[in-house]
């Protein structure tokens, strides 16, 4: 229908499709046709009326060859009709080597030049020309400061774009505004401008308190290798620039001065792509605050000038990745890893229907309750076959996974930091980086997905000194001794363990302060000399002499109400002034945003790790965060 030239051809094709039998594979295509038929008929009728008066335009990308756009006149121009014929009738296409490949409805001939220009010499003019020749390559029109030839020709008219429908390459031109954004597949969706699905991000402009911030394409750049993550955030490693390529697509909202970089990294030797986003405040225009001033209430810095407050932003949601999947004949299924203590990573499967399905953590940590991982399967999940799309969030704090199916059967998946409580203030010239998400695609079911993730994480995520090392066989003192540990019984454990091939002894809870039970001494990281008269250094030496390595347990973020640390510094824990402090597992959480707290912990742990031969640390985290507030 879309390729029809006249209204009569449209009506004929539409009537044939109404009487044709429908199988499961074509059910969605028929529904799409019924939903869009009135738009197609309207467009066809307009074309029929204006066809006799329309003159070929040098700005019509379909009538120009790539060489013409790049400056060469070596090839004759092709008419729109010739291209339409080629795209609909060529069943078999030969490449430059003379070898052919079969064409079908799912593998159509591409309307691209025989030889794509190398990315190394793809300059700005070549890229613009390539985009004009291949409208499907760029689904978002450019709104750069310098107008393109199309923009100069169209003037104030809105540009048209093309969209691609699930497995088919049939396209149709639409005028921006005739169809809502909610019907489109978006790369990174904003809030409040026509897309009523869950947004990829939410940003408040302190100039007027508005959350409206539609993004448009501004520029892109391609780099060899992988751009490093800032602030030592965990991420996939890249050992050389030959291992990966990075694409950075910059989107912008010129009204608010917000720029968002969408960072894509393709790992060449692994079936994986990483995604993240960078928010930048580039607003430097003089502005005044609005009314009672959202800027004053939302900006944490009272010393900021009025102009800085007006130009500041507040990021309230920032997904690391947002992907829209086209509808399929088979239903989507969501797989998540949920559970509890002693029942970690339970595989939970949900068949997705219209509406929202989400899971995440607001505990301040990820863990056995909810794991920052999700997989989408097309059809019933299978270990050995079927299409799988997996998302692994490289982050151990609050997270949220959203899977929303629209009324058109499209599925949107957002993965990122949980927006509950997120208030990240962006002053002019500041940036906010989201954590990284690893994306994996498998056509060999869940087994293929697992193998791809395992290989990547072992090689490029785990620390290099451990990724290739044989893990030790360890014996932990907790189940054997609980809090009743001392120098003699730990050394005896080492002697007995070495006889059966165990090569690592881990001293668990109960070695510090006056830790006789779980109600006291967290935060007092000094050896209890009544239990360990030779200190941790003397214990490690005897364990080593018995033929075992030595490890030790810490829970540095925590503090007991009955401890020397809390008695000396009760304000060092997370709490809201004037409100009661909640205990969990008889303990509270230290406020690590305070420099004095970090300095204390650094020196306390160094006092143990720097004096004894400790080769393994069990770093525990047993309590979620509550009363998250800081005076720092």
Across 100-111, average pLDDT: 43
3-class SS letters over 115-149: CCCCHHHCCHHHHHHHHHHCCCCCCCCECCCCCCH
| pLDDT for the residue numbered 469 | 86
CATH superfamily of 474-619: Aldolase class I (3.20.20.70)
| pLDDT for the residue numbered 81 | 39
The contacts found for 8-11 with CB under 8 angstroms, 24 or more apart, are 10/40, 10/41, 10/44, 11/41
In this predicted structure, the answer to whether residue 28 has a pLDDT above a threshold of 60 is no
82 contacts: CB under 8 Å, gap ≥ 6: none
| pLDDT for the residue numbered 542 | 98
In this predicted structure, the answer to whether residue 578 has a pLDDT above a threshold of 90 is yes
Convert the pLDDT of each residue in 299-329 to its tens digit.
555 555 555 566 899 999 999 999 999 999 9
| pLDDT for the residue numbered 41 | 54
Mean residue pLDDT of the chain comes to: 79
In this predicted structure, the answer to whether residue 24 has a pLDDT above a threshold of 90 is no
Residue 150: which H helix or E strand, with range? Answer: helix 149-154
d(CA 347, CA 334): 10
| pLDDT for the residue numbered 231 | 80
Question: And the tokens for 301?
Answer: 């810095």
Do 159 and 141 touch, CB atoms closer than 8 A? yes
Convert the pLDDT of each residue in 106-161 to its tens digit.
444 444 334 444 444 434 444 454 444 444 333 333 333 444 443 443 344 333 33
User: Nearest Cα to 394, choosing from 376, 417, 414, 422?
Assistant: 417
Please, what is the end-to-end C-alpha distance for the chain in angstroms?
63
Q: Return residue ranges of the chain for CATH 3.20.20.70.
A: 474-619
| 183-467 placed in CATH 2.70.98.60 | yes
d(CA 473, CA 551): 12
Query: How would residue 610 be classed by pLDDT, with cut points 50, 70 and 90?
Result: very high
State pTM to two decimals.
0.71
Instruction: Report the DSSP pairing between strands 474-476 and 313-325.
Output: unpaired
Q: Return residue ranges of the chain for CATH 2.70.98.60.
A: 183-467
User: Nearest Cα to 208, choosing from 89, 313, 362?
Assistant: 313
Residue 100: which H helix or E strand, with range? Answer: strand 100-102
pLDDT higher at 33 or 496: 496
């Amino acid at each position: 229908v879309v390729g029809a030239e006249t209204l009569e051809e449209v009506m004929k094709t539409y009537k044939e499709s109404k009487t044709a039998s429908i199988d499961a594979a074509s059910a969605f295509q028929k529904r799409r046709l019924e939903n869009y038929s009135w738009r197609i008929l309207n467009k066809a009728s307009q074309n029929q009326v204006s066809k006799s008066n329309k003159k070929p335009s040098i700005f019509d990308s379909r009538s120009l060859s790539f060489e013409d756009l790049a400056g060469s006149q070596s090839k004759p121009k092709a008419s729109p009709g010739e291209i339409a014929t080629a795209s609909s009738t060529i069943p078999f296409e030969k490449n430059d080597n003379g070898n052919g490949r079969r064409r079908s409805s799912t593998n159509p001939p591409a309307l691209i030049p025989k030889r794509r220009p190398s990315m190394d010499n793809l300059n700005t003019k070549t890229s613009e020309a390539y985009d004009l020749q291949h409208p499907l390559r760029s689904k978002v029109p450019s709104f750069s400061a310098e107008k393109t030839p199309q923009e100069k020709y169209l003037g104030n008219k809105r540009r048209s774009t093309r969209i691609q429908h699930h497995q088919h390459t049939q396209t149709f031109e639409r005028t921006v505004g005739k169809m809502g954004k909610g019907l489109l597949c978006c790369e990174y969706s904003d809030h409040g401008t026509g897309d009523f699905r869950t947004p990829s991000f939410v940003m408040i402009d302190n100039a007027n308190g508005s959350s409206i911030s539609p993004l448009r394409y501004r520029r892109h750049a391609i780099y060899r290798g992988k751009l490093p993550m800032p602030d030592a955030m965990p991420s996939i490693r890249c050992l050389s620039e030959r291992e990966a390529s990075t694409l950075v697509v910059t989107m912008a909202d010129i009204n608010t001065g917000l720029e968002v970089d969408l960072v894509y990294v393709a790992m060449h030797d692994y079936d994986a792509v990483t995604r993240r986003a960078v928010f930048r405040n580039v607003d430097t225009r003089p502005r005044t605050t609005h009314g009672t001033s959202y800027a004053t209430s939302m900006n944490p810095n009272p010393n900021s000038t009025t102009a800085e407050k007006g130009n500041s932003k507040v990021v309230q949601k920032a997904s690391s990745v947002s992907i829209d999947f086209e509808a399929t004949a088979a239903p989507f299924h969501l797989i998540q890893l949920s559970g509890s203590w002693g029942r970690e990573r339970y595989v939970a499967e949900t068949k997705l229907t219209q509406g929202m399905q989400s899971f995440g953590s607001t505990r301040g940590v990820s863990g056995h309750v909810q794991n920052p991982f999700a997989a989408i399967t097309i059809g019933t999940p299978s270990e050995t076959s079927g299409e799988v799309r997996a998302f692994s969030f490289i982050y151990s704090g609050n997270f949220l996974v959203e899977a929303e199916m629209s009324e058109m059967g499209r599925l949107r998946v957002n993965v990122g930091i949980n927006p509950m409580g997120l208030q990240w203030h962006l002053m002019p010239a500041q940036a906010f980086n989201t954590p990284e998400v690893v994306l994996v695609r498998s056509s060999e079911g869940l087994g293929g997905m697992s193998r791809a993730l395992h290989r990547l994480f072992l090689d490029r995520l785990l620390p290099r000194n451990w990724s290739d090392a044989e893990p030790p066989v360890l014996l932990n003192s907790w189940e054997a001794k609980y809090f009743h540990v001392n120098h003699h019984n730990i050394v005896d454990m080492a002697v007995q363990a070495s006889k059966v091939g165990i090569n690592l002894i881990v001293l668990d809870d109960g070695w510090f302060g006056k830790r006789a039970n779980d109600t006291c001494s967290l935060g007092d990281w000094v050896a209890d000399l009544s239990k360990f008269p030779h200190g941790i250094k003397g214990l490690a030496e005897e364990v080593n002499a018995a033929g075992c390595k030595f490890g030790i347990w810490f829970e540095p973020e925590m503090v007991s109400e009955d401890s020397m640390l809390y008695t000396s510094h009760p304000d060092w824990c997370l709490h809201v002034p004037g409100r009661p402090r909640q205990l969990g597992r008889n303990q509270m959480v230290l406020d690590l945003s305070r420099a004095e707290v970090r300095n204390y912990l650094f020196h306390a742990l160094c006092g143990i790790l720097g004096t004894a031969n400790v080769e393994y640390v069990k770093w525990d985290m047993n309590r979620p965060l509550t009363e998250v507030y800081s005076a720092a």
